[in-house]
Amino acid sequence: MQTLLLFFNICIAFSLVFVEGVQSVHYEELSTLLMIKSSLIDPSNQLEGWKMPSNAAGNQSLHCNWTGVWCNSEGFVDRLHLSGMNLSGNVSDHIQELRSLSFLNISCNMFDSSLPKSLGSLTSLKTIDVSQNNFIGSFPTGLGMASGLTSVNASSNNFSGYLPDDLGNATSLESLDFRGSFFVGSIPSSFKHLHKLKFLGLSGNNLTGRIPREIGQLASLETIIIGYNEFEGEIPSEIGNLTNLQYLDLAVGSLSGQIPAELGKLKQLETVYLYKNNFTGKIPPELGNATSLVFLDLSDNQISGEIPLEVLELWKNFLTGPLPESLGQNSPLQWLDVSSNSLSGEIPPVGLGSLPILQRLELANNNLTGQIPDDIALSTSLSFIDVSGNHLESSLPYSILSIPNLQIFMASNNNFEGQIPDQFQDCPSLSLLDLSSNRLSGKIPESIASCEKLVNLNLQNNQFAGEIPKAISTMPTLAMLDLSNNSLVGRIPANFGTSPALEMVNLSFNKLEGPVPSNGMLTTINPNDLIGNAGLCGGVLPPCSTTSSASKQHENLRIKHVIMGFIIGVSIILTSRDGFLHWEDGCIKRWYLYNSFFYDWHNKSNKEWPWTLVAFQRISFHQ
Ligand SMILES: *[C@@H]1O[C@H](CO)[C@@H](O)[C@H](O)[C@H]1NC(C)=O
Ligand SMILES: *[C@@H]1O[C@H](CO)[C@@H](O)[C@H](O)[C@H]1NC(C)=O
Ligand SMILES: *[C@@H]1O[C@H](CO)[C@@H](O)[C@H](O)[C@H]1NC(C)=O
Ligand SMILES: *[C@@H]1O[C@H](CO)[C@@H](O)[C@H](O)[C@H]1NC(C)=O
Ligand SMILES: *[C@@H]1O[C@H](CO)[C@@H](O)[C@H](O)[C@H]1NC(C)=O
Ligand SMILES: *[C@@H]1O[C@H](CO)[C@@H](O)[C@H](O)[C@H]1NC(C)=O
Ligand SMILES: *[C@@H]1O[C@H](CO)[C@@H](O)[C@H](O)[C@H]1NC(C)=O
Ligand SMILES: *[C@@H]1O[C@H](CO)[C@@H](O)[C@H](O)[C@H]1NC(C)=O
Ligand SMILES: *[C@@H]1O[C@H](CO)[C@@H](O)[C@H](O)[C@H]1NC(C)=O
Ligand SMILES: *[C@@H]1O[C@H](CO)[C@@H](O)[C@H](O)[C@H]1NC(C)=O
Ligand SMILES: *[C@@H]1O[C@H](CO)[C@@H](O)[C@H](O)[C@H]1NC(C)=O
Ligand SMILES: *[C@@H]1O[C@H](CO)[C@@H](O)[C@H](O)[C@H]1NC(C)=O
């Protein structure tokens, strides 16, 4: 019925073309839009306003005022911006009739059809963005003829088939984003003509073959993100001709051979991801000449030998002393990750704490010895410190937990001893504290309860004594607490179970005694999280007196709780202000598909490091 009405309307529209004469050519555009609408599924009625005017003799460019439609000065449709509208169905062939269309954005919708081949005849297009949908089939060819085309974004879809090689003829292209689909085949050699291309994103597909030598001809390239494919062979040395290159991501693939020394020629190069390939040989000393380099990830390869002096010259400054002038004011270190290497010796005593914007310090799983230098505690920028899995000893620097932005501090599996610094009233951001498997002793300070954002506290496997601080039950966000394998004594505090956010608790293998309070989450706690405390009884444990009333009801509750605890446990996620996964313009970002999340935050315009650790069920409060 509706279709019939629409058809009727369109007929009127066309008859008017003849009545009204030249000006009515705009009715063609108007009816084209109505036909485009008729093949869309629009559950939230975003395009409600797209309808034939009741007064047909009225304004003939009425469609220029419709949602998502912009016209040029002659009244022809110039821009269609229909992103984030929950649209699905089909992109109609009629779209080719919008001859003046220069901007098409249908990103962040729910399309799961294929794009019409006719899209390729829209040769006025300058920008096309179909990203963040579920489009299938091949990407239409033809846009190579669009001489003004500067930007194609087809990322995060389910496209298959080959990359459209005719795009090599669209020599105005500056940005090509085909990340996150199922494209196969190799990089078309025709792409070598794209001399203006600044951004090439092909990561997260099923592309194969070698990286073509011709890539060295794309002299404008600033960003190459082509990892997470099945590329093989060596990195062509011609990559050293890309003098504007700042960002190179070739992570995860089957690339092999040596890392080309020519990378050292790239003075703009800041970030290089080569992890999880099959590179062999040594790190070329020439890399030391890439003086803008602030991030280099070579992990999970077969690289041998020492880090050459020239590179150390660049990198040692990350470990000792002030930042060298050669690094430039604009590229100071934000993230130092040398975890899981074989670094030995001590952490240099001065320097790290004075790096002005160092946010992440990751030294985990090395062979480091000695103390954490006191100077780190002077940092105002650090938000993430992980020194777990070393042989560090002595006590923790007194004020380390007072670093104003510190959110995550992990120091497990070392030989730290002495007491925890009683500085909790000064740690406004701390959300995860893991000091497990050390030799820490003394009491757990009551002041820990002033850590208002603490979500996860792990002190297991130490020598803590004294009682569980009563104030723990007032901590607003504490969801996970592991105090197992210590020497804690006394009773479990009466209100403990009613801590507002507590989901997982492990108190096993201490010297606790007395009855387990029957309130809150303690009524459903898994008894395994209480075992090894000979003096504990009651609650979910065998009763303190001999009256055996182990109730089935408790058992059921317990199971429910354990399952919930498990779900929450695995769902603890790191969210940044940008979020791994969030809702924006009605569209879920799916960055985990291809790692480019890193690109977003590692960008120059970088905001402060915004990690917060939140329990899954609380995420909505943070949006
Ligand atoms: C989209 O096209 C397919 C195949 O041509 C058809 O079956 C389907 O009904 C169309 N959907 C809409 C909403 O027009
Ligand atoms: C355009 O739409 C707005 C509101 O949607 C309306 O107020 C305005 O009168 C319309 N203009 C024309 C020329 O139709
Ligand atoms: C018709 O509508 C367009 C778009 O809203 C507007 O720019 C134009 O001035 C209107 N023309 C008349 C004659 O009302
Ligand atoms: C899209 O759909 C979701 C759920 O179906 C709804 O919550 C959201 O508001 C819709 N967005 C728009 C822009 O209509
Ligand atoms: C398309 O629309 C989305 C959402 O509004 C926006 O984020 C994106 O930048 C747009 N694409 C282009 C190429 O303008
Ligand atoms: C392509 O679109 C996605 C999201 O729709 C966006 O995040 C990404 O930055 C875009 N690519 C480029 C090169 O702008
Ligand atoms: C590029 O354009 C040339 C000349 O117009 C044409 O011969 C060639 O087939 C085009 N290449 C592709 C891959 O479409
Ligand atoms: C593409 O890659 C994905 C993930 O790497 C894999 O599961 C899938 O089988 C591949 N598909 C093809 C057609 O090779
Ligand atoms: C590109 O690099 C190769 C190998 O590094 C070199 O032989 C060639 O001369 C360079 N081409 C240009 C145009 O600089
Ligand atoms: C890596 O290289 C080694 C020897 O060079 C080879 O045996 C192995 O199969 C390669 N692995 C991959 C994933 O290509
Ligand atoms: C580094 O660059 C300087 C000049 O910029 C050059 O003299 C030197 O040979 C280069 N070193 C390496 C190892 O390429
Ligand atoms: C640490 O050093 C010991 C010997 O001192 C060695 O056995 C061990 O493999 C080293 N660990 C790492 C991760 O290098």
Per-residue model confidence as pLDDT tens digits over 344-385:
677 767 566 776 777 888 788 878 888 998 888 888 888 999
Mean pLDDT, the chain, rounded, equals: 79
Q: Distances from the Cα of 394 to the Cαs of 128, 388, 415, 436, 444, in angstroms?
A: 59, 14, 7, 15, 18
Same domain, 523 and 556: no
The ligand 9 atom nearest the CA atom of 241: 1
Cα separation, 165 vs 186, whole angstroms:
10
* Cβ(286) – ligand 11 distance below 6 Å: yes
Q: Which ligand is nearest to the CA of 189?
A: 7
CB burial of residue 545 (10 Å; 0-12, 13-18, 19+): exposed
Same domain, 480 and 409: yes
pLDDT given at position 213: 96
* Cβ(241) – ligand 9 distance below 6 Å: yes
Q: Distance from the CA of 237 to the center of ligand 9, in angstroms?
A: 8
Nearest-CA neighbor of 227 among 591, 592, 594? 594
* Cβ(32) – ligand 5 distance below 6 Å: no
Task: Give the confidence band of 123 by pLDDT, cuts at 50, 70, 90.
Answer: very high
* Cβ(89) – ligand 1 distance below 6 Å: yes
* Cβ(39) – ligand 1 distance below 6 Å: yes
Nearest-CA neighbor of 331 among 250, 268, 244, 266? 268
Same domain, 538 and 553: no
- Residues whose CB falls within 8 Å of the CB of residue 66, separated by 6 or more in sequence, listed in order: 33, 47, 49, 50
Tell me the residue type at 505: V
CB 446 within 8 A of CB 422: no
Number of domains in the chain: 2
CATH number of the domain encompassing residue 535: 3.80.10.10
Same domain, 442 and 554: no
Per-residue model confidence as pLDDT tens digits over 205-246:
999 999 999 999 999 999 999 999 999 999 999 999 999 999
- The phi and psi torsions of 515 (rounded to 5 degrees) equal -75, 145
Looking at the predicted structure, is the pLDDT value of residue 307 above 60? no
Q: Best of 82, 104, 130, 131 to mutate for ligand 6, by most ligand atoms within 8 A of CB?
A: 131
Task: Indicate whether 592 belongs to any domain.
Answer: yes
Residue where a domain stops, chosen among 510, 545, 580: 545
Q: Distance from the CA of 188 to the center of ligand 10, in angstroms?
A: 26
Find tokens 């130490």 and name the residue: 462
Q: Distance from the CA of 136 to the center of ligand 4, in angstroms?
A: 22
Per-residue model confidence as pLDDT tens digits over 125-171:
999 999 999 999 999 999 999 999 999 999 999 999 999 999 999 99
The ligand 10 atom nearest the CA atom of 278: 1
More confident residue, 565 or 132: 132
* Cβ(227) – ligand 5 distance below 6 Å: no
Residue nearest to atom 14 of ligand 11 (CA): 286
The ligand 7 atom nearest the CA atom of 141: 14
Looking at the predicted structure, is the pLDDT value of residue 72 above 50? yes
Same domain, 401 and 540: yes
Nearest-CA neighbor of 506 among 557, 540, 464, 457? 457
Q: Which ligand is nearest to the CA of 141?
A: 7
Looking at the predicted structure, is the pLDDT value of residue 262 above 90? yes
CB burial of residue 491 (10 Å; 0-12, 13-18, 19+): middle
Q: Distance from the CA of 216 to the center of ligand 9, in angstroms?
A: 7
Q: Distances from the Cα of 135 to the Cαs of 95, 155, 263, in angstroms?
A: 17, 10, 37
The ligand 8 atom nearest the CA atom of 206: 1
Looking at the predicted structure, is the pLDDT value of residue 551 above 50? no
Same domain, 585 and 520: no
Task: Indicate whether 405 belongs to any domain.
Answer: yes
Task: Indicate whether 531 belongs to any domain.
Answer: yes
In degrees, rounded to 5, the angle at the alpha carbon of residue 451 between the alpha carbons of residues 510 and 352 is 100
Range from 75-89, 353-367, 411-425, 584-598 that averages highest in pLDDT: 75-89
Tell me the residue type at 310: E
pLDDT given at position 528: 93
Task: Indicate whether 538 belongs to any domain.
Answer: yes
- Residues whose CB falls within 8 Å of the CB of residue 180, separated by 6 or more in sequence, listed in order: 155, 156, 157, 203, 204, 205, 590, 593, 594
Q: Per the structure block, which two tokens stand in for 338?
A: 């040398």
Q: Which ligand is nearest to the CA of 342?
A: 12
Pocket of ligand 8 (CB under 6 A): 182, 184, 206
* Cβ(240) – ligand 9 distance below 6 Å: yes
Q: Per the structure block, which two tokens stand in for 478?
A: 């504490």
Same domain, 402 and 495: yes
Task: Indicate whether 493 belongs to any domain.
Answer: yes
Nearest-CA neighbor of 483 among 475, 474, 494, 472? 472
Nearest-CA neighbor of 190 among 161, 164, 209? 164
Looking at the predicted structure, is the pLDDT value of residue 480 above 60? yes
Least confident residue range of 287-291, 297-301, 329-333: 329-333
Q: Distance from the CA of 484 to the center of ligand 1, in angstroms?
A: 60
Nearest-CA neighbor of 283 among 314, 318, 242? 314
Q: Distance from the CA of 65 to the center of ligand 2, in angstroms?
A: 6
Same domain, 531 and 555: no
Residue nearest to atom 8 of ligand 3 (CA): 61
SS3 breakdown of the chain: % helix, strand, coil, rounded to 5? 25, 20, 55
In degrees, rounded to 5, the angle at the alpha carbon of residue 600 between the alpha carbons of residues 595 and 605 is 160
17 sits in the region (left: phi over 0; alpha: psi -120 to 50; else beta) called: alpha
* Cβ(275) – ligand 6 distance below 6 Å: no
Segments in 387-488 forming alpha helices (H): none
Same domain, 538 and 403: yes
Pocket of ligand 4 (CB under 6 A): 44, 84-86, 586
Cα separation, 235 vs 226, whole angstroms:
12
- Residues whose CB falls within 8 Å of the CB of residue 316, separated by 6 or more in sequence, listed in order: none
pLDDT given at position 581: 31
* Cβ(107) – ligand 5 distance below 6 Å: yes
Task: Indicate whether 616 belongs to any domain.
Answer: no
Per-residue model confidence as pLDDT tens digits over 325-351:
322 223 346 666 666 666 667 776 756
Pocket of ligand 10 (CB under 6 A): 254, 256, 278
Same domain, 402 and 534: yes
How many Cβ atoms are within 10 Å of 495's Cβ, its own excluded?
Answer: 16
Residue where a domain stops, chosen among 493, 527, 545: 545
Q: What percent of the chain has pLDDT over 70?
A: 75
Looking at the predicted structure, is the pLDDT value of residue 50 above 50? yes
DSSP 581: S
The ligand 3 atom nearest the CA atom of 62: 2
Dihedral of the CA atoms 261, 250, 209, 239 (nearest 10)? -40
Residue where a domain stops, chosen among 497, 512, 545: 545
Task: Indicate whether 254 belongs to any domain.
Answer: no
Q: What does the buried/exposed string (b/e) look like for 410-435 if buried means 16 or more CB atoms within 10 Å of the residue's CB?
A: bbbbbebbeebbebbeebebbbbbbb
* Cβ(586) – ligand 11 distance below 6 Å: no
Same domain, 532 and 556: no
Q: Distances from the Cα of 36 to the Cαs of 17, 39, 111, 597, in angstroms?
A: 19, 6, 14, 34
Domain extent for 560: 549-605
Q: Distance from the CA of 613 to the center of ligand 1, in angstroms?
A: 44
Same domain, 416 and 498: yes
Q: Which ligand is nearest to the CA of 253?
A: 10
Looking at the predicted structure, is the pLDDT value of residue 449 above 70? yes
CA 336, 342, 347, 348 dihedral sign is negative
Task: Indicate whether 533 belongs to any domain.
Answer: yes
Q: Distance from the CA of 364 to the center of ligand 10, in angstroms?
A: 27
pLDDT given at position 91: 97
More confident residue, 319 or 243: 243
Q: State if pTM tops 0.75.
A: no
Task: Give the confidence band of 70 by pLDDT, cuts at 50, 70, 90.
Answer: very high
Q: Which ligand is nearest to the CA of 142?
A: 7
Q: Which ligand is nearest to the CA of 193?
A: 7
Average of pLDDT values for 83-87?
97
How many Cβ atoms are within 10 Å of 176's Cβ, its own excluded?
Answer: 25
CA 14, 16, 21, 25 dihedral sign is negative
Angle between helices 2-20 and 25-38 (to 10 degrees): 170
* Cβ(65) – ligand 2 distance below 6 Å: yes
Q: Distances from the Cα of 347 to the Cαs of 350, 371, 376, in angstroms?
A: 9, 7, 10
Q: Which residues pair with 432 in a beta bridge?
A: 408, 456
